[in-house]
Amino acid sequence: MNLDLYSRVLWRFRALMLAGLGLALLLSVFSYAKLEFHGGLPHLVPRKAEIFSAQARLFVTTPGFPWGNAQEKFVDTGGSPSAVGDPGRLTSVATLYAQLATSDVVRRGALARSKVKGKISAQVESTQIGTLLPVIDVQAAAPSASGSMKLAEAAANAFQAWVTKQQAAAHIPDSQRVIVQMIARPAKPTVLVPRKATLSIVLFLIVLMVFTAAAFVLDNLRPEPRTFLARSGAVDPLDELKRAA
């Protein structure tokens, strides 16, 4: 690579290169952000915002907190006795509830409560060895950290309200109802989808490469008179300078 040749050509067409640099910066900035006016003042707003994720945790249990009793209690249901607060059954209920927590009616209630546009999902929590627990993680994804927290909490509250409404409509006694408790409110949202500037960087480099190529094409089409013979090899540059002096 002849650095002297590169530097000479770029310096000769420095006006063209400065225009290319300005155009590259302009295109890269506006491919990354758009201009909006707030309060009469211009602001650059990223075209693709980051997506944040937050979650609320729900505990599926029964009245009386059976998890605190050292001895398992049983009730007579007319057939074989069933355990009060049976972990297996509550885990099955939690698995079903995780699907119901993302139903359309719950989703509409969450969006109405939070006033935030985003996506809602839910899953059953498990131990390190894969054992399912009667715990549901309600997750929300939104374009802002605060929005993801609001939406996650609103989704958890909407699901709790929906379960209570269904139990009341079915006339289930309070002592026999499944309880859905919020044991962890949304906190410390994480970045789910980071904002990428790859397109802007690639566009910047492409524009610079095009203008650099244009400078070399112009240099070949319009060579400098003093150095034309020197570049073609017909005359030694030092001899040419001596004759010119």
Mean pLDDT in consecutive groups of 10 residues from the start of the chain, 245 residues: 77 88 84 66 64 94 76 56 65 93 94 92 88 93 92 96 95 90 91 74 87 87 61 50 50
* pTM given for the model: 0.61
pLDDT of residue 45: 59
Residue 141 tokens, joined: 């994804």
pLDDT of residue 134: 92
Residue 162 tokens, joined: 């929906």
pLDDT of residue 187: 87
Dihedral class, residue 139 (left if φ above 0, else alpha if ψ from -120 to 50, else beta): beta
Q: Give the angle 70-73-74 at the CA atoms, nearest 5°.
A: 160
**How many residues can be counted in the chain?**
245
Q: What span, in angstroms and rounded, lies between the C-alpha atoms of 29 and 39?
A: 22
Q: What span, in angstroms and rounded, lies between the C-alpha atoms of 46 and 200?
A: 12
| Domain span(s) for CATH 3.30.70.1130 in the chain | 51-193
Dihedral class, residue 199 (left if φ above 0, else alpha if ψ from -120 to 50, else beta): alpha
What lies within 8 Å, CB to CB, of 195 at 6+ separation is 46, 48, 49, 50
Angle between helices 104-114 and 145-169 (to 10 degrees): 130
What lies within 8 Å, CB to CB, of 149 at 6+ separation is 54, 140, 186, 187, 189
pLDDT of residue 135: 95
Q: What span, in angstroms and rounded, lies between the C-alpha atoms of 112 and 17?
A: 53
pLDDT of residue 131: 84
Q: Among candidates 204, 155, 126, which has minimal Cα distance to 53? A: 155
**Domain 51-193, CATH homologous superfamily name and number:** EIF_2_alpha (3.30.70.1130)
What lies within 8 Å, CB to CB, of 76 at 6+ separation is none
pLDDT of residue 220: 83
